[in-house]
Structure 1
Amino acid sequence: MTGQQTSRWQAIAQGLAEYYRAPYRQLLARAARDRDDLFRLLVFSEALGIPNPATPYTLELMPLMWDDFHDWHRRMGMPHSPLDHIRCC
């Protein structure tokens, strides 16, 4: 095959992949957000008063999660920060 034919087949393959992925993009994004929210709950669980056997491992991740904490607690239905020592609102 020539270079032009190869690029044409690649364009067709990309178009078909997009055609089949498009209806599920929102569903997959919501599933990824739910997975991330569950992970944040695991990381912040000790600070929220929920016993967590993986605390020594998740404490290292807390500083990385602070930036998204406000969006997370709002999505979880908490209008204000549930933590006394964290004021983000």
Structure 2
Amino acid sequence: MARAQRDEDDLFMVIVLAEALGVPNPVSYHTVELLPVVYDEVHDWHRRMGMDRSPLEHVSCC
């Protein structure tokens, strides 16, 4: 159950950060409001995804 929740949270993070990652996001107008909420979780997310550094230029957490 914990792994399923983490996977769902990771998908949510990708949806919210899609525009910043360069992926066209048709609902970016709505997800931009969630960016301040997920900024604290970017470091844990990109480490779980296997990235050494944040893929976002304006978020330097490492």
TM-score interval for Structure 1 and Structure 2 normalised by the shorter chain: over 0.9
The RMSD of aligned alpha carbons is 0.5
- Alpha-carbon separation, structure 2, partners of 1:66 and 1:85: 10
Partner residue of 1:55 out of 8, 12, 28: 28
More contact order relative to length (CA 8 Å, sep ≥ 6): 2
- Alpha-carbon separation, structure 2, partners of 1:81 and 1:45: 13
Which structure 2 segments of 5+ residues have no match?
none
Structure 1 residues 19-56: Cα deviation after superposition (integer angstroms, max 9, x where no partner): xxxxxxxxx00000000100000000000000000100
Structure 1 stretches of at least 4 aligned residues deviating more than 2 Å after TM superposition = none
> What's the TM-score once normalised by structure 2's chain length?
0.96
- Alpha-carbon separation, structure 1, partners of 2:35 and 2:58: 14
What corresponds to 1:85 in structure 2? 58
* Percentage of pairs with the same residue: 60
Give the number of the structure whose residues are more often helix, by fraction. Answer: 1
SS at match of 1:41: helix
What corresponds to 1:65 in structure 2? 38
Aligned AA (2:27): A
